[in-house]
Amino acid sequence: SHCMGVIPMSLVIAELEDSIGTITMNHLRKHNALNEILIEEIIAALKHFKKHGARVVILRAPPGAKIWSAGHDVKELPLTRRDPLGWDDPLRMVIRQLETLPMPVIAMIEGGVWGGACEMALACDMIVATSDVSFAITPAKLGVPYNITGVLNFMNATSRMILREMAFTAQPISAARAERLGMINYVVEKEELEQRVHTLAQQIKQNAPLSISVIKEELRIMESAHSVTPRMFERLQGLRRAVYDSQDYQEGLSAFLEKRKPQFTGE
Ligand code: YXS
């Protein structure tokens, strides 16, 4: 459709033009931390684009952003005795929306990508990043027991040794290294970013949307085809509960909020 439309929102700018939907995460004061409102608006934009026949979606921050997204809003994580990443957590919801959207989503990245935002970027269908970008998997830094679907999403994005290095050190890796590892499609200089993403979007747009959507859904189903028995699942959930009930989990969150280094004791 040729409808040009900007949907009025507060933390996100959503535009649909010539069958390309663009979502700009625009909550700069909080470095686009993935809070409930920002996620709701991203999901609303994705649904609007699907309804209006967009062929491809671009997910970005404003041009020149220093942080693409600081990840889950730490202030929205439960302090204890509740799963920090349960089924209805906003981060889980937006990742499921991105994965089940019938059209491809290109993550157009400038600035740092942290924690849950790293999983959100990897839940997109392609990633184009500028050379300043870094990706960090941060649960171990905060004492968060990541959830099993999230870990599977990371597993589908990189190799055994790299995922363990990123998860256990919680250190960012550069876009150049991520590209060498095949985690992202392109690293480009800032001035090339718009053009490179636009070229990909145009190439996708001229192909058959029904074919693309069924291939995307086949990939999603096959990537998640792992036989985990109820017994195995419940054992992992029990292990996760012990972590989010731990002192270390509370220490991780408090240290972040108090802007100090955490002292983890293993309790
Ligand atoms: O001091 P004020 O109150 O203005 O707030 C500061 C930060 O606390 C806040 N902020 C956040 N608030 C909630 N959730 C966040 N993820 C978050 N990140 C930042 O924004 C204000 C400005 O931040 P500041 O002063 O640190 O800015 P900066 O330019 O010095 O540093 C930017 C960052 C992004 C490098 C730095 O803010 C940072 O390291 N943020 C946390 C990145 C991170 O570890 N994210 C993971 C969040 S937890 C998550 O995603 C999952 C649960 S998990 O960890 O399991 O993957």
Residues with a CB atom less than 6 Å from ligand 1: 30-31, 33, 67, 70-75, 77, 84, 112, 114-116, 138-139, 142, 144, 146
- Look at strands 105-109 and 112-114 and give their pairing: unpaired
Task: Give the number of C-alpha atoms closer than 13 A to the C-alpha of residue 70, restricted to the C-beta side.
Answer: 15
Predicted pLDDT at 1: 35
pLDDT in tens, 31-79: 999 999 999 999 999 999 999 999 999 999 999 999 999 999 999 999 8
pLDDT tens over the chain, length 267 residues: 344 566 667 999 999 999 999 999 999 999 999 999 999 999 999 999 999 999 999 999 999 999 999 999 999 999 889 999 999 999 999 999 999 999 999 999 999 999 999 999 999 999 999 999 999 999 999 999 999 999 999 999 999 999 999 999 999 999 999 999 999 999 999 999 999 999 999 999 999 999 999 999 999 999 999 999 999 999 999 999 999 999 999 999 999 999 999 999 999
- Catalytically active residues, by annotation: 72, 116, 146
pTM of the model: 0.97
Q: Looking at the DSSP assignment, which residues form a beta bridge with residue 7?
A: 14
pLDDT in tens, 127-155: 999 999 999 999 999 999 999 999 999 99
**Nearest protein Cα to ligand 1, atom 56:** 115
Predicted pLDDT at 120: 98
- Give the mutation target among 30, 149, 244 for probing the ligand 1 site: most ligand atoms within 8 A of CB: 30
Predicted pLDDT at 8: 67
Distance in Å, CA 239 to ligand 1 centroid: 27
